[in-house]
Amino acid sequence: MKIKHYPGKAVDASLSLEGSNAMGALYEANWLRAATQAQTQTALSQVQPQTAYPTQLTRSPSKLSRQSSSAGSGSSFLLEGISALSKYQIALENIRQLEQQSQQARDKSIVSTIKELNGYRPSPMQHHHQHNGWVTEEQDHPQKNKVLPDEEKKKPQEGTPAVNHYVLDPTERARLPRPRQQLSVKPPSLRRSQTMMMQQPPSYVTLRTSPSKSFHKSQKNLSHSGSSATYSTFSSAADDQDQDQVVICQQPQRLISPPPPREPPPEPPRRVVTKPLTRSQTSVQRYATIRLPHGQSTSFSRSIAQPRESTSSLRRHSLEQAIKGLKMEEEEMAKDVRQKSPLMERLSPAPSSNGSSKDLNGEGFCIPRPRLIVPVHTYARRRRTGNLKEQSSGGQEEEEADTKKDGRVEVSREGKYLSTLSGAKVLGELAILYNCQRTATITAITECNLWAIERQCFQTIMMRTGLIRQAEYTDFLKSVPIFKDLADDTLIKISDVLEETHYQRGDYIVRQGARGDTFFIISKGKVRVTIKQQDTQEEKFIRMLGKGDFFGEKALQGDDLRTANIICESADGVSCLVIDRETFNQLISNLDEIKHRYDDEGAMERRKINEEFRDINLTDLRVIATLGVGGFGRVELVQTNGDSSRSFALKQMKKSQIVETRQQQHIMSEKEIMGEANCQFIVKLFKTFKDKKYLYMLMESCLGGELWTILRDKGNFDDGTTRFYTACVVEAFDYLHSRNIIYRDLKPENLLLNERGYVKLVDFGFAKKLQTGRKTWTFCGTPEYVAPEVILNRGHDISADYWSLGVLMFELLTGTPPFTGSDPMRTYNIILKGIDAIEFPRNITRNASNLIKKLCRDNPAERLGYQRGGISEIQKHKWFDGFYWWGLQNCTLEPPIKPSVKSVVDTANFDDYPPDPEGPPPDDVTGWDKDF
Ligand SMILES: Nc1ncnc2c1ncn2[C@@H]1O[C@H](COP(=O)(O)OP(=O)(O)OP(=O)(O)O)[C@@H](O)[C@H]1O
Ligand SMILES: Nc1nc2c(ncn2[C@@H]2O[C@@H]3COP(=O)(O)O[C@H]3[C@H]2O)c(=O)[nH]1
Ligand SMILES: Nc1nc2c(ncn2[C@@H]2O[C@@H]3COP(=O)(O)O[C@H]3[C@H]2O)c(=O)[nH]1
């Protein structure tokens, strides 16, 4: 049996704060900080049980050995000697995570509100895109009650000139009761706006009510759940409203015929209102009091209003659909829709005799037929005041006819001109859609014929068009291969949140490197995928994507950054259906095809490798010998029954011990990172298993043994040998860091040689995928190798790996790491004094020491590899001058030490390990490991 001895260090160390006053003070400070942070009640409740007060650490003297030759002894202190301290550090990280989560939750609840509906309110998707332009609830809060109502309410009273009547005058509107039975199922067309409201109950209420009422209502809203509750919230809000009409401003000669009369029969289109109006028409009559204020406004051109027009195109599109919908006879329409989609049939049952669709199940869902659309004749100012009438005589009628043809209204807000509208345009939908006060003033500037639709009718139309659109989208999604197996209700949910966007040829729909939050499905046209080559500005063509293809999933699965460019290719543009991150995560991200459709070569290769092992079970494995002992159990050399040509390493980890040391998350991350990595300098994980007691990882076996064992035997390595091994680690780090994965446990024990003598990184227990620009705080690693920022709990990232690379170089060149104390606390003290306090032995060349010093900078930002040039700065350092990187990458470079491996079951390069004295661990069937 070989004995492992950690170079130059006592193996027993009591983790005592008294051991180091400086460290004591440091941890005291950290503790105080943790305690302050833990004021968050939720954080406290979760964290307290595990939080170890530092002084308790003195009570738990523990072994701290990097030597892992005896069963159960781990070399990473998190698992062993100072586990209490690490627990405290874990607690700190937990608090942070909880804080981050609660911050995220808060961010989510920071919902947008319409501080000023100066233009159309964007849909959730648009809102996402235009985030900066919109006011968040938080920003808005202090002024909540100043929002629209006050100013807008004033307007009709104060600002109304005697002769001016506004097209939309909420103050006179009689309220219509909303028929409840129609609302028991949430009309899909309204869901979008409702969803938005439900995401922002306070803001939508505060648009209209007093603060106390708002609060009360939002509380009530929040207490509801489910779609019908959502709707009832909506409806109660709607009941308070005074804005109940949408106006379709039409050119008279292009009037759309209203649907055939039902009860009560709608008025036929008329130019002049002559007889007394019915109740519903009364609301319309006010539209007939439109006066032309200035007469001169016709000179404003449409182009001035162009930008606003574009933001509202989506909404207008729905409304134009609504108008179209009106032209259809109801039965015909229902029939048509049913033919279009069987799904629609389910949603929209056959119409009943009274003109409403009835729920087939008799549960009260019906789609009422739109009944009211009333033509309105407006009188232009000239006629009312008689000014021009008197002036013009002969040509008056023609002129009048001309003006009617051009029927125009002016949109203004707070007296500021916004736009002039003419033709078949829709006005007044916002107040109805969003249950808010009118957001603009509409004034007739010529004689106009307007058609008014009442709230209820408008909503019915929207509901119907919404249903049609939803059915269309759902049908389209069904034709998309990746979605074809999804359940109908999932497809409906997706189509409910889809937004259609259009792009012109040459537009960059997605730009590589940009942050992305959306997923796209192409509904029309073609796009080009390109990827910018490293170190050049050139874009390499990857593929074309067309109708039914998707893109944008990678940024949502990874760290937000787009991995390729998507450019609109079709001459007549591209249309995409866009899905937000939340829906993507909930409904789409788990589809296998989504995960792997655009895998790069490495990932595809990796998948193929994993496929090979799909049918291997634990029972197919035969244990040959023990290769090593880690913190959670043993690593066995195994072969599969029936194939003696290969061998594998099977890492067996005690579940109970993982739970005890709270390493569940780390183990899951180890599995994920190793299972996906496809780098020849990283040990491959082929398959995982689990039973009641253990988790297992089936890995490639590296029979050359640990680099640590060779170092121990040789004492130290020469410059060239060290360079080779360091270069292997640089390659592994290059792979990991380019994927934003931090390794955090570099040391010779975790570097295994394959039979050729190439080094591979093993043990990814502390590896972690970081979000771009984010840091992590878990206090983990091996004392001699941890970077100062880890000790100081300042948060660390991949730069901590560069520190440990410098330490590794030093240890390989000298046999001892530069920062070595008799116990971890002393080691930390030495680390905090910095690399400049370390004496470099003579055998370390000037170039080597220069590189080590550049890697071991106190300030993480100054470390070589972490700066602009990235890891290539290390490769270009003069210590590596002449090193054959290409040969290393292609495994053509001859390694400095060729281990002796006689067969696939030769374990001569490993120490011998006695059987586990502890016996089998208790069962753990709590299920935390279900994804392992
Ligand atoms: N793929 C492999 N091929 C050969 N030996 C291996 C392999 N994986 C692990 N070993 C041996 O088993 C030992 C323990 O493995 P590993 O470091 O992965 O376990 P661990 O529980 O994470 O250990 P640690 O306590 O260092 O965190 C290694 O040091 C090595 O000697
Ligand atoms: N807020 C706003 N409304 C506009 C604009 N252009 C046309 N409108 C219409 O003006 C209407 C005023 O009443 P609504 O708020 O109900 O709905 C509004 C829109 O239909 C614009 O640029 N901004
Ligand atoms: N990285 C990569 N992305 C591709 C490829 N082919 C298509 N894409 C898509 O291009 C998209 C760019 O944005 P994302 O990174 O979010 O998601 C990406 C993929 O959906 C490919 O070969 N590689």
* ipTM of the complex model: 0.64
Whether 198 contacts 233, CB under 8 Å: yes
Q: Which residues are catalytic?
A: 745
Distance of CA 72 to the CA centre of its chain: 41
Q: Residue 609 is encoded by which pair of tokens?
A: 């490798």
867-888 tens-digit pLDDT: 888 899 999 999 999 999 999 9
Q: What is the pLDDT of residue 117?
A: 33
Could you confirm whether domain 593-703+911-931 is CATH 3.30.200.20? yes
Q: Quick one: average pLDDT of 903-912?
A: 94
Higher pLDDT, 529 or 423: 529
Q: What is the pLDDT of residue 67?
A: 34
Other beta carbons within 10 angstroms of residue 213's beta carbon come to: 13
Q: What is the pLDDT of residue 101?
A: 58
Going by alpha carbons, the residue nearest to atom 9 of ligand 3 is: 551
Please give, one letter per residue, the 3-state secondary structure of 440-485: CEEEECCCCEEEEEEHHHHHHHHHHHHHHHHHHHHHHHHHCHHHCC
Q: Is the pTM of this model over 0.80?
A: no
Parse the chain into domains and list their residue ranges. 1-26+370-378+404-476, 480-589, 593-703+911-931, 705-900
- Reported confidence tier of residue 374, pLDDT bands at 50, 70, 90: low
The answer, yes or no, to whether residue 467 has pLDDT greater than 60, is yes
Q: State the distance from the centre of ligand 1 to the C-alpha of 536, rounded, in angstroms.
A: 40
Binding residues for ATP: 651
Q: Quick one: average pLDDT of 183-202?
A: 27
Q: What is the pLDDT of residue 353?
A: 35
The answer, yes or no, to whether residue 715 has pLDDT greater than 50, is yes
- Reported confidence tier of residue 99, pLDDT bands at 50, 70, 90: low
Superfamily of domain 1-26+370-378+404-476: Jelly Rolls (2.60.120.10)
Q: What is the pLDDT of residue 873?
A: 93
Q: What is the pLDDT of residue 82?
A: 34
Q: State the distance from the centre of ligand 1 to the C-alpha of 554, rounded, in angstroms.
A: 32
Mutate to test the pocket of ligand 1, among 655, 667, 711, 762 (most ligand atoms within 8 A of CB): 762
Q: State the distance from the centre of ligand 3 to the C-alpha of 541, rounded, in angstroms.
A: 12
How many angstroms separate the CA atoms of 5 and 65, rounded? 9
DSSP string, 107-132: HHH--EE-S--SSPPPPHHHHHHTGG
Q: Residue 498 is encoded by which pair of tokens?
A: 């889809």
Ligand 2 atom closest to 246 (CA): 16
Q: State the distance from the centre of ligand 3 to the C-alpha of 553, rounded, in angstroms.
A: 7
What average pLDDT does the structure give for the chain? 67
HSE of 925 in the Cβ direction (CA atoms, 13 Å)?
A: 2
Whether 757 contacts 899, CB under 8 Å: yes
482-528 tens-digit pLDDT: 888 888 888 988 988 899 999 999 999 999 989 889 999 999 999 99
Q: Quick one: average pLDDT of 623-635?
A: 91
Q: State the distance from the centre of ligand 3 to the C-alpha of 500, rounded, in angstroms.
A: 20
Binding residues: 651
Segment holding 645, helix H or strand E: strand 643-654
The answer, yes or no, to whether residue 239 has pLDDT greater than 70, is no
> Is the fold of 1-26+370-378+404-476 the same as that of 480-589?
yes
Mutate to test the pocket of ligand 2, among 411, 413, 451, 455 (most ligand atoms within 8 A of CB): 411
24-75 tens-digit pLDDT: 333 334 433 433 344 434 333 443 333 333 333 333 333 333 333 333 333 3
801-848 tens-digit pLDDT: 999 999 999 999 999 999 999 999 999 999 999 999 999 999 999 999
The answer, yes or no, to whether residue 752 has pLDDT greater than 90, is yes
Going by alpha carbons, the residue nearest to atom 16 of ligand 2 is: 428
Q: In the block, which residue shows the tokens 């634990």?
A: 618
Using CB distances shorter than 6 Å, the residues near ligand 2 are 117-119, 168, 243, 308, 411, 418-419, 427-431, 438-440, 442
630-661 tens-digit pLDDT: 888 899 999 998 899 999 999 999 999 999 99
540-561 tens-digit pLDDT: 899 999 999 999 998 887 767 8
Q: Could you tell me what percent of the chain has a pLDDT over 70?
A: 56
Q: Which ligand is nearest to the CA of 564?
A: 3
Q: Which ligand is nearest to the CA of 595?
A: 3
Q: What is the pLDDT of residue 335?
A: 52
Q: What is the pLDDT of residue 94?
A: 55
- Residue 732 DSSP SS3: helix
Higher pLDDT, 864 or 215: 864
Ligand 2 atom closest to 431 (CA): 16
List strands edge to edge, sheet with 425-427.
374-377, 449-454, 245-250, 425-427
CATH match for 705-900 among 1.10.510.10, 3.40.50.20, 3.40.50.2300, 1.10.3080.10: 1.10.510.10
Other beta carbons within 10 angstroms of residue 520's beta carbon come to: 22
Q: What is the pLDDT of residue 738?
A: 86
Q: What is the pLDDT of residue 465?
A: 85
Q: Which ligand is nearest to the CA of 545?
A: 3
Mutate to test the pocket of ligand 1, among 651, 658, 667, 751 (most ligand atoms within 8 A of CB): 651
Could you confirm whether domain 480-589 is CATH 2.40.50.1070? no
Q: State the distance from the centre of ligand 1 to the C-alpha of 297, rounded, in angstroms.
A: 81
Q: What is the pLDDT of residue 900?
A: 96
Nearest 5°: phi and psi at 908? Answer: -60, -25
Cβ–ligand 3 distance for 516 under 6 Å, the answer: yes
Q: What is the pLDDT of residue 889?
A: 92
- Taking the alpha carbons at both ends of the chain, their separation in whole angstroms is 34
Contacts of 299 (CB under 8 A, 6+ apart): none
Using CB distances shorter than 6 Å, the residues near ligand 1 are 68, 74-76, 79, 627-628, 630-632, 635, 649, 651, 683, 699-702, 706, 749-750, 752, 762-763, 765
